[in-house]
Amino acid sequence: MSKEKLRVLMVEDNPTDALISKKRLQRDDAFEYDITHVVSGEDGLLTLEKHSFDIMLLDYNLPKKSGLETLREIKAKNIEMPIVMITGQGDEQVAVTLIKEGAFDYLPKRDGYEDSIPLMIRKTIAEFRAKLERENLQKEIALKKEELEKTNAKLMELDKMKSDFVANVVHELRTPLTIIRGNLDNIDKGFAGEVQPQQKDILGDIFRVINRLSRLVNDLLDISKIESGKMELNKESLDIVTLAGEAVKTFEVLAGSKKIGLIKEFPNKAVTVNADKDKLTQVFINLMGNAIKFTDKGNVVVRIIDLQKEAQVEIQDTGSGIPLDQVDKIFDKFVRVVAEKKEGTGLGLPIAKDIIVLHKGRIRVESESGKGSRFIFVIPK
């Protein structure tokens, strides 16, 4: 195998030292050395203007321009080449300065120091190349990071545009919905002529769909408000027991029609929390709505536990339960586990979770497929 050619610039004013060093290198078999020898710092600098080298051996003790001055001038020119300084004996202090000034390494001129030159060169070249590789890698990483940051910023901007668009569209949907409902209401009440029983039935169906659409529009509006950080809480001191009682009442008819028991396990006294009444009511409605929707027989228990610094609420059902591998996903938007024909969009839980998190509370679920679910949340007092 042919040896790699290494271009060496040797700055050495002592002809004997230079000769021995060159001879020693010629005997070395690690590289094929192409040595350019000059006798002063000035000549070294001039040579560097015209040619490039893989390594430089620079004598510290030079007449006229010193080794240190020469080193500084080379460094100022940003030439990418390792420089090994050949220092006098016992120049340890000098060596420290030289390294600080950018020398790659140093070799003291002891008797027979020439024998150490090949090893020094090998070691220096290996370390220098490893260093270059590291630096290139770091540059590449920095570049990639910058690229990623730019892409990320762009994606965030696009995401915001999309959210704003959705928010606007959803907002615009509200007005025509209100008008449709108002007009239907007028027809239903007979303001546009007598309504036949069959027509009333059809109107009833339309009302149900309109209500569903309104709920969806309101849910989407809530989500977009939360996501854009525009959902504000009107916190007040309120009794969560009373609030939960009212929520349970609104579900009595529905639960009754499905023959599901609604059980309240409440403390005997008020439990005051600091919360937004409407938003907290919505959490109860979303969780209880789910419990009743996904339960066909048995009970739904609403439990309130008075803890020291927070109120804990549990809504427990004997319904379909949630498969283990889906439990982590149900708080994400638009996730619906059962493909059954149950009405819904998959926004109730994400909204409930966001509201609770805005209150600095926590929500989680314990569930077993086929046995039922227990949603547990806490709200600070």
Ligand X SMILES: Nc1ncnc2c1ncn2[C@@H]1O[C@H](COP(=O)(O)OP(=O)(O)OP(=O)(O)O)[C@@H](O)[C@H]1O
> How many C-beta neighbours within 10 Å does residue 247 have?
20
The piece of 118-126, 151-159, 212-220, 287-295 that touches Mg ion (CB under 5 A) is 287-295
Q: Binding to ligand X by residue 355, rule CB under 6 A?
A: no
The piece of 22-30, 92-100, 301-309, 341-349 that touches ligand X (CB under 6 A) is 341-349
Q: What is the DSSP letter of 140?
A: H
- Cα gap 334→104, rounded to integer Å: 61
Is the backbone of residue 321 left (phi > 0), alpha (psi -120 to 50) or beta?
left
Site for ligand X in 306-335 (CB under 6 A): 317, 319-322, 330, 335
Q: Binding to ligand X by residue 281, rule CB under 6 A?
A: no
| Near ligand X by CB under 6 A: residue from 158, 307, 324, 338 | 338
> Cα separations (Å) of 148 from 155, 311, 313?
10, 43, 43
The nearest distance, CB 248 to Mg ion, in angstroms, is 17
DSSP SS3 for 171: helix
From ligand X, Mg ion, none, interface partner of 337 (C-beta below 5 to 8 A by class): ligand X
| Near Mg ion by CB under 5 A: residue from 70, 87, 290, 320 | 290
Q: β-strand 235-239 against 272-276: which pairing, if any?
A: antiparallel
Which one, 146 or 332, has the nearer CB to ligand X?
Answer: 332
| Near ligand X by CB under 6 A: residue from 227, 344, 358, 366 | 344
Contacts of 104 (CB under 8 A, 6+ apart): 82, 83, 84, 124, 127, 128
Q: Binding to Mg ion by residue 316, rule CB under 5 A?
A: no
Site for ligand X in 218-237 (CB under 6 A): 219
Which one, 48 or 349, has the nearer CB to ligand X?
Answer: 349
Site for ligand X in 65-124 (CB under 6 A): none
Q: Which two tokens stand for residue 242?
A: 């009373």
Q: Binding to ligand X by residue 251, rule CB under 6 A?
A: no
| Near Mg ion by CB under 5 A: residue from 44, 348, 350, 372 | 348
Closest to 280 measured CA to CA, from 248, 334, 231, 244: 244
Q: Binding to ligand X by residue 298, rule CB under 6 A?
A: no
Cite the beta strand spans of 214-259 per DSSP E. 235-239
The piece of 17-25, 151-159, 268-276, 289-297 that touches ligand X (CB under 6 A) is 289-297
The nearest distance, CB 137 to ligand X, in angstroms, is 46
3-state helix, strand, coil in the chain (%, to 5): 50, 20, 25
Which one, 67 or 348, has the nearer CB to ligand X?
Answer: 348
Question: What DSSP string describes 9-52?
Answer: EEE-S-HHHHHHHHHHHHH--SSEEEEEEESSHHHHHHHHHH--
- Cα gap 113→381, rounded to integer Å: 80
Q: Which residues bind ligand X (CB under 6 A)?
A: 219, 286, 290-291, 294, 317, 319-322, 330, 335-338, 344-349, 373
Q: Which residues bind Mg ion (CB under 5 A)?
A: 290, 348
